[in-house]
Structure formats: C-alpha cells, structure tokens
C-alpha cells in the first residue's frame, strides 16, 4: 500500500479485491470503512470480516472481536483513492482524460465532446450523469462522478479496450471526497459557478475552492479550458500555474462566436478559435448551450481534432437526455424536460423557452425542490418561475427525508401572487394537470428531475418518470 499515511503496521496480506460495502465483500477483499452522511462504514466492520474481508482500512478508533487486522490511516477517503489507484495499476495514466467541472453544463459539454470524438473515429468514453458510455457498451452509475474503486476499475476496462480518450464530469462532492485524487487529468474544463450545494459546502467561496482543487492538482503538461465570461473563471486563470485556454461570450481574444442565431430549431453560427473558423449547426437550443458548444470546441481545437470532425460532431450531437429535451403533444402543445435544479439553471432554461414561444401563448412550469439540500434557493426558484410563467405547478421532487409540504411552503414564500401557483401532493397529479391545461402553442417546462426514473422518499427510490407521463399525451 504505497503512499498511504498509516498510523499502524501494515500486515503482509494478499488483497484480491476492494470494497466499501460490507454486503458486497467477498473472500480476500480489503474493506475500506468510509463515514458517509447517513451511514458509517466503521459500524459494519464485523460484517465485512464475516463476509471474507482479510483486512480493514479505517481512520477511526475501532476494534474487531473477530481479530482481523484493522489498518489505521489519517484519511480513509483519501486512502481509498490511493489504494484503488495502486490496485488497478493507475490505468488513467495511459488515457487522455478530460475532466469537466462547474455548476451547470457538465453533461452537455461532455456529450458534445464525446460526439466530436466519435465523428473523429477516436475510441473514447464518457463518464457522468448519463452513466458510463463507450463505443460498445452503456452502463448506469449512481453518481455524477463514481467512487474511486468503480472509477479505476472502469479505466482499466477502457485501457484493455484500447480507448485513448475519456471525457468525464467532475462534481464538487467528488473533489471534496477525494474520488478523483489520483486520476491523471490531461485537460480540465471549467463551465461556470453559481450558488449550489451550499447545504454541503456552506459558502460560495468554499464551493469555489473545492472546484479549484481540480485545476491546482494538474501538472504543467496539462491544459485548463476556462470560461472567461464567468467571474470565477477569471479567478481560476489568475490563480493556477497550469497553462490555460479560454472561451467567452464577449472576449474576442478568447474562443468566441463571431456570429450566431439561436432559435427553437437550434444554434447556428461561426466560432473563431485562433486562426481557425468553425461553422456551427447544432440541434441544441438555448443561449446557454452556446457556452457549452464553445467549451467543447475550445477543448477539441486544442487537442488538434480536424475542423470537419468538430463541425460534424456538433451537428450530430443529439439533444442530451433530460437537458432541454423537447416533446410535441397531440394537441399541439410542447413539453420541455430539463434537469435544471438551481436558480441560475432555471433562469437560463426559462429565458431560452421565453425566446422561442409564440406570441400570445403561455409557459407553464412543473417543479419542486430536492429535500436535504440547500434550502436558500427554493424561494429564488419561485421568483424566477413567476416572472416567466403563466402558472406554476408545485410538486414533490426528491423530498428524501424532508417533509414535502414544508419544502413546498418554502418555495411559495418567493411568490408575490397566490394566483400564480398551485401545490400538489404528488408530482404525477401536478404534471398531468399542467398537460391537460396546455393548449396548442403553449409550452410546459418540467424542471428538476430530467430523465430520472425514481423519486427518493424516506430512503427509498420509488419508480417515477416524468417522461413516461408526457408520452401518454403524444
């Protein structure tokens, strides 16, 4: 166990596998006891030994009545990443890895880049909210950025499959919890930063500093692609030593649009990157997707991918599932499903919709707020929806362990008029009511859950799909 800061002697034991879940431990595994928000792996050490663990890694003062060796470390999460890195042979060092971080846009930028790689004939993969995607197999994941064991295992599989490039989303939780501690990033992309996850990070500055970790960890041989239009992007450029490439909505010294047209059918325009020009014809909608396209072009341009491959990749990139995804209903109304769950994302999504709706037609919105998350954004989301929408249908999102009625009460505190909203106890009822009311030319924005197929309530994931309900009306 190289490079681990241990407090005890390391026994000479052959490790056959790694696990952080005592139920999944098999004979010969090393069990790493991780303290989570709701569960503490140290409470399951006895169970891990009974299931075949040959040793345990822990940063707590614990003992075992079964007498198995418990290796004490200073930080179990950090040690987990180092152990996984060593166990799987540091597979990321042989692959060009692009990490994308920021509050919004990570999935879209990753998907556009993945499409560009495909057009260029590059054996690549995408890791993030949509799961593990590659040329031969798609696989779901529980996290935006997987835990270190799952991540390194997947990199090893990609290495064996001779994949050369990986584009992956890097969440602030993953950075704070050392999930990507030993991943060798060749490039990192910063999209933007707005208030989010403040229940976890407490302050916007702490949130920013967590994102900054990705860029500070990079070597001088790597490259940082930064959104210069964002205030925090400017801060990153001034802070890090890693070479940077920038893109911007306004700065002509960065990669930028020389001209563009954003309509209900997509985005067309001309991007200038150094001495090259890229003709953009994208199916993605919304002004905010212009920034996502700029990020992908900047990255691909720096890598040296050909002009035609970049242009074809953008043109062939289908609307990202659950991201401003449009569905036409039989009666002529349109539904747009979007994963937006922050005030900034609400502003961008609803502004984009307001720019494409016909005159004298209405926008309706169906939304809620996730439980056990930042409560300060709830009334802000209400203010934004009131400004853009004819009527708002307040429903449960993923209440988790919070009372859905209390969440709704905090949301409606942001409305100035009671006539602007209706509260529903269950999401399906609220969504169906909005779909029933919408007429030809109206748009129903269904925000927050994207293509999730569950509602998380009291620790259980109950099957639920906004998309399945919308399809009943097609």
Predicted pLDDT at 206: 94
Predicted pLDDT at 144: 82
CATH number of the structural domain spanning residue 196: 3.40.1190.10
Residue 230 makes CB contacts below 8 A (sequence gap 6+) with 190, 191, 192, 193
Q: Does one domain contain both 190 and 104?
A: yes
Cα angle, residue 461 at apex, residues 350 and 179 outer, rounded to 5°: 80
Structural domain tally of the chain? 3
Q: Does one domain contain both 381 and 270?
A: no
Please indicate, yes or no, if residue 86 is contained in any of the structural domains: no
Please indicate, yes or no, if residue 391 is contained in any of the structural domains: yes
Please indicate, yes or no, if residue 202 is contained in any of the structural domains: yes
Q: Does one domain contain both 334 and 455?
A: yes
Domain boundary among 316, 339, 369: 316
Q: Does one domain contain both 96 and 213?
A: yes
Please indicate, yes or no, if residue 411 is contained in any of the structural domains: yes
Q: Does one domain contain both 172 and 307?
A: yes
Please indicate, yes or no, if residue 339 is contained in any of the structural domains: yes
Taking alpha carbons only, the member of 412, 337, 326, 327 closest to residue 369 is 412
Domain boundary among 316, 337, 371: 316
Q: Does one domain contain both 105 and 223?
A: yes
Q: Per-residue pLDDT tens, the chain, 474 aa: give them.
A: 555 665 556 677 899 999 999 999 999 999 999 998 788 999 999 999 999 999 999 999 888 777 789 999 999 999 999 999 999 999 999 999 999 999 999 999 999 999 999 999 999 999 999 999 997 777 776 678 889 999 999 999 999 999 999 999 999 999 999 999 999 999 999 999 988 877 788 899 999 999 999 999 999 999 999 999 999 999 999 999 999 999 999 899 999 999 999 988 899 999 999 999 999 999 999 999 999 999 999 999 999 999 999 999 999 999 899 999 999 999 999 999 999 999 999 999 999 999 999 999 999 999 999 999 989 999 999 999 999 999 999 999 999 999 999 999 999 999 999 999 999 999 999 999 999 999 999 999 999 999 999 999 998 999 999 999 999 999
Number of alpha carbons in the 13 Å side-chain half-sphere of residue 10:
12
Q: Does one domain contain both 362 and 274?
A: no
Q: Does one domain contain both 295 and 329?
A: no
Q: Does one domain contain both 171 and 69?
A: no
Strand partners, 138: 133
Q: Does one domain contain both 290 and 329?
A: no
CATH number of the structural domain spanning residue 37: 3.40.1390.10
Range of 370's domain?
Answer: 325-471
End-to-end CA distance of the chain: 57
Please indicate, yes or no, if residue 419 is contained in any of the structural domains: yes
CB-based contact 29:18 (threshold 8 Å): yes
Predicted pLDDT at 3: 59
CATH number of the structural domain spanning residue 340: 3.90.190.20
User: CA 395 to CA 404: how far, in whole Å?
Assistant: 8
Q: Does one domain contain both 76 and 108?
A: no
Please indicate, yes or no, if residue 259 is contained in any of the structural domains: yes
Please indicate, yes or no, if residue 258 is contained in any of the structural domains: yes
Q: Does one domain contain both 413 and 312?
A: no
Domain boundary among 51, 80, 109: 80
């Amino acid at each position: 166990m190289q490079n681990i800061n241990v407090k005890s002697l390391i026994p000479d034991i052959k490790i056959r596998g790694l696990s952080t879940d005592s139920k999944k431990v098999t004979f010969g595994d090393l069990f790493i006891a991780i303290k989570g928000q709701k569960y503490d792996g140290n409470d399951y050490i006895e169970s891990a030994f009974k299931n075949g663990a040959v040793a345990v890694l822990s940063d707590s003062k614990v003992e075992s009545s079964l007498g198995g060796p418990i290796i004490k470390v200073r930080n179990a999460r950090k040690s987990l990443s180092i152990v996984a890195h060593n166990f799987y042979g540091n597979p990321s060092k042989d692959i060009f890895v692009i990490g994308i971080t920021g509050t919004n846009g990570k999935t879209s930028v990753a998907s556009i880049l993945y499409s560009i790689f495909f057009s260029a004939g590059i054996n690549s993969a995408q890791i993030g909210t949509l799961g593990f995607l590659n040329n031969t197999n798609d696989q779901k994941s529980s996290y935006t950025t997987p835990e270190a064991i799952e991540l390194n295992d997947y990199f090893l599989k990609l290495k064996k499959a001779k994949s050369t490039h990986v584009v992956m989303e890097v969440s602030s939780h993953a950075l704070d919890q050392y999930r990507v501690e030993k991943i060798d990033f060749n490039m990192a992309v910063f999209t933007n930063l707005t208030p989010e996850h403040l229940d976890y990070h407490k302050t916007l500055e702490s949130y920013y500093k967590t994102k900054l970790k990705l860029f500070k960890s990079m070597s001088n041989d790597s490259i940082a692609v930064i959104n210069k239009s964002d205030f925090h992007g400017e801060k990153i450029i001034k802070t890090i030593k890693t070479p940077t490439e920038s893109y911007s909505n306004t700065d002509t010294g960065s990669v930028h649009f020389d001209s563009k047209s954003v309509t209900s059918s997509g985005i067309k325009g001309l991007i200038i990157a150094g001495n090259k020009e890229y003709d953009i014809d994208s199916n993605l909608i919304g002004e905010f997707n212009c920034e996502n396209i700029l990020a992908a072009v900047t990255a691909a341009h720096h890598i040296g991918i050909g002009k035609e491959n970049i242009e074809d990749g953008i043109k062939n990139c289908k609307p990202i599932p659950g991201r401003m995804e449009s569905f036409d209903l039989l009666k002529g109304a349109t539904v747009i499903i979007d994963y937006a769950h922050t005030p900034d994302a609400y502003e961008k999504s609803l502004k984009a919709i307001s720019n494409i709706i016909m005159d004298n037609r209405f926008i309706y919105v169906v939304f809620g707020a996730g439980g056990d998350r930042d409560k300060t954004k709830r009334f802000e989301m209400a203010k934004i929806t009131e400004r853009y929408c004819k009527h708002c249908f307040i429903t449960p999102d993923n209440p988790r362990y919070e009372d859905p009625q209390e969440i709704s009460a905090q949301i409606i505190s942001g409305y100035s008029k009671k006539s602007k909203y209706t509260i529903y106890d269950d999401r399906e009822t609220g969504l169906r009511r909005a779909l029933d009311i919408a007429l030809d030319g109206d748009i129903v924005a269904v925000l927050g859950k994207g293509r999730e197929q569950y509602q998380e309530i009291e620790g259980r994931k109950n099957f639920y799909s906004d998309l399945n309900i919308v399809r009943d009306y097609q």
